[in-house]
Each structure stands twice: as C-alpha cells, then as structure tokens.
A = this chain, B = another copy of it.
Amino acid sequence: MSNTVKIVRFHKTGPAEVLQFDELPLPEPGPGEIRLRVKALGLNRAEIMFRNGQYLETPVHPAKNGYEAAGIIEATGPDVDGSWIGKTVSTVPGTFKLNDHGVYGEVAVVPLHGIAEYPSTLSYEQGASIWMQYLTAYGALIWLGQVAKGDFVVITAASSSVGIAAIEMVKVEGAISIAVTRTAAKKAELLKLGADHVIVTDEEDLVARVNEITLGKGARIVFDPIGGKILESLAASTASKGIIFEYGALAPEPTPYPLFTALAKHLTIRAYTLFELTPDPVFPKAKQYIFDHLALGAFRPIIDKTFPFAEIVEAHRYMESNAQIGKIVVTL
C-alpha cells in the first residue's frame, strides 16, 4: 500500500482540463471523520459549475471537487467508532463543502455525518448515484411540495439524474409526471423510464401541451433546474396557487420574474437546494424513504456511462455535452 494517493484537484478555474491528478500523502481522518477507499464517483452539474467558478461555493485553490463517492471505509478518526471500518457507504451532498471534502480521488476524507449506507443489492456505480438526485427531488416534491395523488408535476431537464429521480418519485406518490426535454432524442427513453407525458420543446409548445394534458388546469408543481426565459412558460403552465421549484441555474441568460402571471394565479416560486434539507430534522426521514424505495426496486439509479478514473476530464466534458440520460460515473 503506497503512502501517497491520487487526488483530483484544480489550481485555477476553467474547462475540464484544469482537473489534474495530484499525488498527495495519504490523508488521515480527523475527529468526526472517516476515510473512504473510493470505488465509484457520481458526477454532478454542481461540480462543473464549481470548476468554472460559477457555483454557490467559490473554489479555494488548489481546490478539491466532487460530492458523491461510493466505497469502503478504511480508516476512522480518533473519536469515531472503529466498527465502521469495512462498511460500504456513499457520501451525501449537502453535508460538507467541496473545498473541505471534495471526494474526487482514490480516497476521500469526509465527516461521519456526511455518509450513508445503501442497499447491498446496488453496485458501487449505483451507490454513487443516489443522494444528490433523490434527496434533491425529495426535498422539493415531498418535503416542501407535498406532492399528492393526482397532482400534475412538470419536470424540466427530465433526462438528468435528478429529473429521472423526480419521475420515479412522482410515480411512487401516485402523481402524474410531465417530463420536458429539448429534443426528440430522449423521448422514448423517458417514457420507458416511467414519464407519464413527455414534451419536446423543440417541436411542441410547452404551455399548450401542459394545458392539454392537465385539461386547462395547469401543473400543481413545477421542478426546474434551468431558470432563464423558460420560467415564463413554466409560470404560464402552472395551476392557480401552484408552486415552481427552482433548484439550479443552467440557463446562461438572466431569469425574468413573471410578475403578472404570478399575481393572476397566486404562484409561489421557491428556490431550493438540498443544502436546506440536510441540516433539517426531516433529513433522516428523507434518507430512510430513499433507502426503502431503493431496496424495493421502486427507485433504480440509471447509469448513462462510466469512465475510468484516468478519464475524469473526459467524463466532465461528456457531462457538458448534455448527451446523457441519467448519471455519469467514474470508476476506480
């Protein structure tokens, strides 16, 4: 066992190739921490934005990166129960900062409260593809949105891992999903994954189609990571007293607030990220809900493509191409 390990860091913000493999001394877990031998990394859009210097958190160089890793605990901090060693867990985004504990590497040191076990039926790749997507969807749809049987839920960026998680969660809750995707390329796959309706915005009018599907009522919940000008169409597609969750900022342009539409329909626009969920008392309940549905097979993390660790730069580029349906995973 070498006493150095490869950790992916970037020393300046920029395109995928700023990510580099730094050979560093094997880090020891401090109080309240564990060290994970990483087997798989799940990539997140947030990590692209962080690498670009456009994220809520600002990189401190040389910066680590990465929220989601699955692997085996190989060391524990001085005050942490040693019986954790040998257990298979994955890391939970929203419980630590990327600068402090970014997990891209052969090993990752993270706080004990930032890991969770997952059903043993799942592979490492699937284990690294759980928490960002299901917790994000849970917080908006179930915790804050209280989705109920028969509700119409519009899901934009539907083929993202969070989008697919939302489609699964809406089905489990007896509601009706309306998946929104830009091109026809992903339509068949989204239907196969359980979407009740798919709207292809390059070919169809979003507002007219939502109106048609909901018989003029509009959607009670909209779940959108895009922002920008689509917010106007989304507001026009929302039911009276409906709620729009904004959970990302993928659009390059500024976001207009649809004031008149919002006033006429008494709309709520709620900005939400899972950083709000993880410190809340509801967090254990959320984790259990997700664990149970994974164990039952009602939630199945979809892996679009895996890359070997050596190709993490290509994996970032691939995410930026928007070709994927589901999660992009790096394996070690």
Given the known A-B contacts A249-B259, A256-B256, A259-B246, are A271 and B276 also in contact in the complex, defined by CB atoms under 8 Å?
A: no
In terms of DSSP, what is the predominant structure of the interface of chain A?
A: mixed
Residues of B within 8 A of A95 (CB): none
User: How distant is the Cα of A273 from the Cα of B246 in the complex, in angstroms?
Assistant: 22
In contact, B270 and A268 (Cβ under 8 angstroms): yes
Cα–Cα, bound, A301→B92 (Å): 54
Count residues of A near B (Cβ-Cβ below 8 Å): 28
Cβ–Cβ contact A263 & B56, under 8 A: yes
* CB-defined contacts of A269 to chain B, threshold 8 Å: 257, 262, 268-270
- Give a binary string over A206-249; 1 marks a CB under 8 Å from any B CB, 0 the rest: 00000000000000000000010001000000000100001111
Q: Mark A290-309, 1 if CB is under 8 A from B, else 0.
A: 00000000000000000000
Q: B56, B241, B256, B264: which contacts A257 (Cβ < 8 A)?
A: B256
Scan residues 107-156 of chain A and give those whose CB is less than 8 A from a CB of chain B: none
CB within 8 Å of B: which A267-293 residues: 267-273, 275-276
A residues whose Cβ falls under 8 Å from a Cβ of B: 56, 227, 231, 241, 246-249, 254-257, 259-260, 262-273, 275-276
